[in-house]
Amino acid sequence: MTVEHDGLIFDVEEQGPARGPWVVLLHGFPVNAQCFDAVIPRVHEAGLRTLTINQRGYSPGARPDDVADYRLEKLVSDVIGILDHLNISYSMIVGHDWGGIVAWQLAAKHPDRFTGLVAVSTGHPSAMRDALEDGSDQRERSAYIKSFIAPDAEEKLSGRDGILLRRAGVTADELRPILEPGAMTGPLNWYRANFTGNIAETLACPPVEIPTTMLWSDADSALGREQAEFSGRYVYSDFRFSVLEGVDHWIPENAPAALATEISLRSSRF
């Protein structure tokens, strides 16, 4: 279905048991909500109902031109607006990569709307700050961001059918939507809008006061252990730190059963 919010049209999909508790799944870069295709059936088996959103820049009807329209507060507002439109008062929130950054903000700033958080790969923004200051290798891991905010990023990342992204582990099928003419700019504007200027102020996030799982994989080349493990410092509720061994950054695609298990565990009342 489509949902209108902030003058934009978002592609969303709800699936699963009609009376199951809601789970909202937020994708990262560069793959849209199809990254959860192998996770969703397993989540349904646990009795949960899912909502996926092709977020701002990914839905063809939600691609504003101005970089400022991709600021984090807009990305957070999109999710709340869509939930309001669908009359979803409470849900669990799951986010991978950039979706994880949005999910941390949602959990911290709207705790009355979410029963639990599963952050995948991406730690709490304050934990990322700690990792950058702690002498870890996170600064080196994050160096790729400079190339993503460069004016020629679209050309470089789209060249030769997205070979740079395919070398990073994204499949040709996953890349197909973002390689459509004009489709790369919106997703890259997430980086341009939030990783320039006063980054610390832009990404600032309060502590989270709802039950939280941090799922991280030890073969992730972009996000190190420190930013994930330190996230527990900023969760003032039950916190679970779970490590997948031998799995790369693309947890939803390459470890869907493990992610579905963590979602199911976090949804349990016991």
Q: 103-117: per-residue pLDDT in tens?
A: 999 999 999 999 999
Distance CA 144, CA 194 (A): 15
pLDDT digits (tens, 9 = 90+) for 174-199: 999 999 999 999 999 999 999 999 99
Q: Which fold has domain 2-267?
A: Rossmann fold (3.40.50)
In this predicted structure, what is the pLDDT of residue 270? 46
pLDDT digits (tens, 9 = 90+) for 59-76: 999 999 999 999 999 999
Closest CA relative to residue 223, chosen from 161, 102, 132: 132
Q: Stretch 147-168: mean pLDDT, rounded? A: 96
- What is the share, in percent, of the chain residues with pLDDT greater than 90? 97
Q: Stretch 14-39: mean pLDDT, rounded? A: 97
Distance CA 93, CA 75 (A): 14
CA 85 to chain centre: 21
Distance CA 134, CA 119 (A): 22
Q: Is the pLDDT confidence value at 215 over 60?
A: yes
Q: Is the pLDDT confidence value at 246 over 70?
A: yes
Average pLDDT of the chain to the nearest whole number: 96
Closest CA relative to residue 90, chosen from 23, 11, 19: 23
Confirm if 141 and 123 have CB atoms less than 8 A apart.
no
Report the SS3 class of residue 204. coil
Distance CA 54, CA 153 (A): 21
- The string over 241-254, giving b where at least 16 C-beta atoms fall within 10 Å of a residue's C-beta and e elsewhere, is bbebeebbbbbbbb
In this predicted structure, what is the pLDDT of residue 269? 59
Distance CA 153, CA 159 (A): 10
Q: Is the pLDDT confidence value at 262 over 80?
A: yes
Provide the token pair at 34.
Answer: 């199809």
- The conformation of residue 182, written as its DSSP 8-state character, comes to T
pLDDT digits (tens, 9 = 90+) for 108-145: 999 999 999 999 999 999 999 999 988 889 999 999 99
Task: List phi, psi (to 5°) of 142.
Answer: -90, 5
Spans of all domains in the chain: 2-267
Q: Residue 252: is the preceding peptide bond cis (ω within 30°)?
A: no
